[in-house]
Structure formats: C-alpha cells, structure tokens
Structure 1
C-alpha cells in the first residue's frame, strides 16, 4: 500500500506511456463520500484547460512524475459533482471530530494511491505552529463550513 499526499502531487508533470507531457497536477478531486476519485490536470496550451484524470487511468505515481496508459480516452472534463481541494477551498477549512473537538485547519490529505481512500489529514493551528497528522478510518463529512472526521475507533 503506497500513500500519497496532495502537497507532493501538486505541480507534478503528467506523461503518457509514450513520453508525451500532457500537463501538470493542479488539484485533487474528491467524491461527496470523501473518496479521492482523480486528479485535476492543467494542460499546457494557449488557454489553460483543466481535465479530470481518474485514478484508474494512472499507470504509476513516480517520485518525479505521473504516467498514464493512454491519453485519448483518459482526459475528461472535471465531473460537476466532484469536490476539489483547492478550488472548493477545502484546504484551510476547519476540521472537527464527530464529538465537536476542533482539530485544526486542513493542510493536506494522505490517501491510498490506487484505492483513493483518505486515511489521514494533516492539520495546523496557524502560520507558525507545527502540523499534526490525524488518522481516520471513516469517510469525512464535507460540510459547507467545516469538515467532520471520525477520530475514534469504531
């Protein structure tokens, strides 16, 4: 099981298996159930275009780039029902436990690269404080104002 964080993926180049660069990772798309569904890739063109890349279409996550098996059918429009970490301002949103404890501001997410399951959240209390990693075995509740996560064994 390999874990990934959004902060390490952001800005990473995306290549086809034939070596053609198709863009860079710009955002992470998450379903309403709190599952990572894919990456938002900005293509290099006259006008920046954003495309959705499903996790299933990724051949490998390397330390310096991401490789996809084929380009034609892989790049689609970002699904209307997906939630994006940056665009929808999940990063910086307050995390609460289901018991109402304030856990900090969301700084990053840790997920299983093939399954898309978010297993931990990196939070901070502010600009000069250290970050904390909070593990959760349950999907988050992505609310308009906060994110509720289960931090207790169930």
Structure 2
C-alpha cells in the first residue's frame, strides 16, 4: 500500500534510461483503478503528458520506471479523477459518512501499486486537529460516491481510524 504523495514528485524514467519528467499526479477512473501518472510541465509549446498504467513497470521508492514514452493528455484523461489537478480532483474534498457525519477532508489517498486500486483516503480535520490528534484514515470495501462537491462513504464496509 502506498500514499499518492509518496509517488508525486518522483522522477519518471523510461527503461531505456531517458527521464520523461516528474510525477505531478496520479489519475484514477470512476472504478478506483489507476489509469496513469500525470507528468509535470506542459505549457504553450508543450502539451501536458501522462504515462498510461499499462506502461508503468514499477513504482519504486526513488523513481517510477516505465516502458516507452509519455502520451499527450487527451479528452479521455480529462474525465479521470486526480489527487491535485483538474476539475475532478480529490484533494480538499469533504468526506461524509452516509449518516451525515463529517469525517474530514481528503489530504491524500492510499492505493495498491501492484494492481493500481485506490483503497483508502487520508483525512484532515484542520491543521490544529492534525497537530493535536493526527490525521485519520478511511478504508472502504466499496467505492465512495465521488460527487461534484463531496465524497459520500457507503453505509457498510467503512473503517475510520486515527493515525
């Protein structure tokens, strides 16, 4: 199990030895499956790029190793969810338990790098509470509803614990 922030900022290197860029974000589909790694950069003369999951050979401690080259971001990529970038980002979204209880806001996500499945969320209740009590983790057997404004946890199969 890895946190997305452990991957963001790592160099993305092709198995040919070429540095493709730095991991700027992770991209997930609506089924909580990793779809790729968004690279930093882009701009007026260079489009944003990402590495599709099928090209990711390893997510290591010091680098993300990939086969082949990066691909330009297209319309399909814009429909995916990311931690920090785009209109469908998770960072800072409030998480509500189905009973209407505020569990906190998303500060990170946990995923299984071997299979690419998002399995949980690190939640913050604000920096004062984070310092006093630490952050919480929410693990769910079923996907959360990724709404436009908030995430809603299902009634069953949710574990919320303090760090």
Q: Same fold (TM over 0.5)?
A: yes
Moved over 3 A (4+): 43-49
Secondary structure at the counterpart of residue 104 of structure 2: strand
What are the equivalent positions in structure 2 for 1:1-154 lying under 5 Å apart? 3-43=1-41, 49-71=47-69, 74-78=70-74, 79-87=77-85, 88=87, 89-128=89-128, 129=130, 130-150=134-154, 152-153=156-157
CA distance in 1, matches of 2:137, 2:46: 34
Pairs aligned (count): 150
Q: 1:56 to 1:151 in 2, by over 3 A?
A: farther
Are the counterparts in 2 of residues 23 and 44 from structure 1 also a CA contact under 8 Å?
no
Are the counterparts in 2 of residues 34 and 140 from structure 1 also a CA contact under 8 Å?
no
Secondary structure at the counterpart of residue 98 of structure 1: coil
Q: Following TM superposition, by how much is the alpha carbon of 1:46 offset from its aligned partner in structure 2, in angstroms?
A: 8.6
Root mean square deviation of aligned Cα = 2.2
Alpha-carbon displacement from aligned partner over 1:103-146 (angstroms, at most 9, x marks no partner)? 10101100111322111110010012211111111112111110
Are the counterparts in 2 of residues 134 and 151 from structure 1 also a CA contact under 8 Å?
no
Q: Following TM superposition, by how much is the alpha carbon of 1:98 offset from its aligned partner in structure 2, in angstroms?
A: 2.4
Q: Following TM superposition, by how much is the alpha carbon of 1:91 offset from its aligned partner in structure 2, in angstroms?
A: 0.4
TM-score, normalising length: structure 1: 0.85
Higher helix proportion (structure 1 or 2): 2
TM-score, normalising length: structure 2: 0.81
Q: Following TM superposition, by how much is the alpha carbon of 1:45 offset from its aligned partner in structure 2, in angstroms?
A: 8.7
